[in-house]
Structure 1
Amino acid sequence: MGLKVGDSVPCFTALDATGELFDSSDVIGKKAVIIYFYPKDDTSQCTIQACGFRDNYSEFLKFGVDIIGVSADNVASHQQFIQKYNLPFTLLSDSDNAIRKLFGVSSALFGLLPGRVTYFVDDKGVVQMIFDSLLGMKHVTKMLEKMIK
């Protein structure tokens, strides 16, 4: 089924890159946030996407929007990815794909890859935009366009 524009984001928890428990209720409904699901740390399109969000992070912050990346990679992988590319935002480990299922993010390329989907969630916790594409940088561009409108 999955979340659609106009839906409220349900609560979820996951480990962040420091191994701490992230509780979505600490952020969702309190500030606007971009939640992006990506296939794997340190792969071509995922790195392009993460670095695109990094390079534009100050712009998102100007609009009061935080960024959260989600993949099935473990905490250690996320730590390395953050350190290697100096990523200033939260990465969550969704090792059992529970968050992916909660949002309804389907697989891509005939089920061979976890899907790449980005959600813009307003400060009330409501999904305002969903973007689905295999091209990582397009997600950054679409979210920036959403901020400017």
Structure 2
Amino acid sequence: GFTLNAIFATDIDKDLPLDQLEFTYSKKTGRIKHVIFNNKIIATLRTDGGFALTIDGAELLLKTNKIKENCIIVRNDVAEFIKEGRSVFCKHVIYAGSNIKANSDVIILDEDNNLLAVGKSVLPYNMISEFNRGVAAKVRHSIND
């Protein structure tokens, strides 16, 4: 639970079914490889110790209502491009949560709070909001994958 709180800068673990999570381990290193909930991979452990969210993981976190500050909301007119796995550009961002730093895992939503994708931020939230050009986030998994 502590690791999740550190990554997402919130007390998110209180709203998650931590006792129902399962883990797969690397045969080579013995380290955690995947976090699984209801037979679905919700996150992959990165080499830097962080979690790379999957779409299923984002759906689970969005149910907590504490993840908003880790989300990027884009204009509806670019939602289809994001669903296809295209990068999120600063000029299309309506909202960037205050927990977003450069290289943070982010959840990308449309204006109606529908999940579009998960990815990695390129810039911190304040720069995403200020800039009118450049990439705000790179999509790792989209709902059309």
**TM-score, normalized by length of structure 1?**
0.28
Larger Rg: 2
Q: TM-score normalised to the size of structure 2?
A: 0.28
Q: Which has the higher helix share?
A: 1
Greater share of residues in strand: 2
